[in-house]
Amino acid sequence: MRSLLLTVALGLGSFGVLCLTPQESAAFPRPFHRGFVTAYYYPRVYYAPPVYYPPPVYYYPVPAYRPPVVYYAPQYYAAPYAPSYSTAPAATTVSVGAYDDYFEGRTVSVQPGTTVRFVNYGRHVHTATADDGSWDSGDLAPGQASSVTLSRPGTYYYHCQHHAGMSGTIVVGPGGSGSTGY
């Protein structure tokens, strides 16, 4: 009985070793002969192409930004009591920004008596100087401001003394006549 068990165990063990041992054709290329030439056959191996999965795409609705709609109720006036419209100046102070190498708004149109405020938003020192020398803001460090009130109609040209080409225009009144002063 013992010898039978031993024989079966050895048989199964050697069968397992033979199954796990690579065969010559799988481990090495098989040679074949054609006359004087010995060639080797390499088995073809096919690889599956890589599968590309694109990232998921999420669609969100785009918000529509619109100005609010304002409805005004009509107002009816009798002919003799109709309101009279005046042309009062809308703003009494206008700001002009001095950035590095340019003024914000090269041409500004204002009404007579308006104060023009020059604010330095740049990183360097700037000035706002009238071309005819009638007013000068002096050196404005970053963040500083200076104001000038223009009461006479006309066209005022100004520039920065520190930066060539940095200039602007202020038109006082309906179109300006070319006169300067304040």
Read off the pLDDT of residues 9-32 as tens digits, 9 standing for 90 and up.
888 887 777 676 655 555 555 666
Across 30-49, average pLDDT = 66
Kindly indicate the confidence band of residue 35, based on its pLDDT and cuts at 50, 70 and 90. Answer: low
pLDDT at res. 40? 64
Residue 1, pLDDT score:
76
Give the 3-state DSSP-derived string for the chain, with helices as H, strands as E and coil as C: CHHHHHHHHHHHHHHHHHHHCCCHHHHCCEEEEECCEEEEECCCCCCCCCCCCCCCCCCCCCCCCCCCCCCCCCCCCCHHHCCCCCCCCCCCEEEEEEECCEECCCEEEECCCEEEEEEECCCCCECCEECCCCCECCCECCCCEEEEEECCCEEEEEECCCCCCCEEEEEECCCCCCCCCC
- The answer to whether the CB of 104 falls within 8 A of the CB of 118 is no
Using one digit for the tens of pLDDT, what is the confidence trace for 72-91?
Answer: 666 665 555 444 444 444 55
Under CATH, which number does the domain 93-172 receive? 2.60.40.420
Which pLDDT does position 68 carry in this prediction? 66
Question: Residue 182 pLDDT more than 70?
Answer: no
Give the tens place of pLDDT for each residue, 93-143. Answer: 888 998 888 888 788 888 888 889 999 998 889 999 999 888 888 899 988
CB atoms within 10 A of CB 137: 23
Q: Select the more confidently predicted residue: 167 or 49.
A: 167
**8 Å CB contact between 154 and 178:** yes
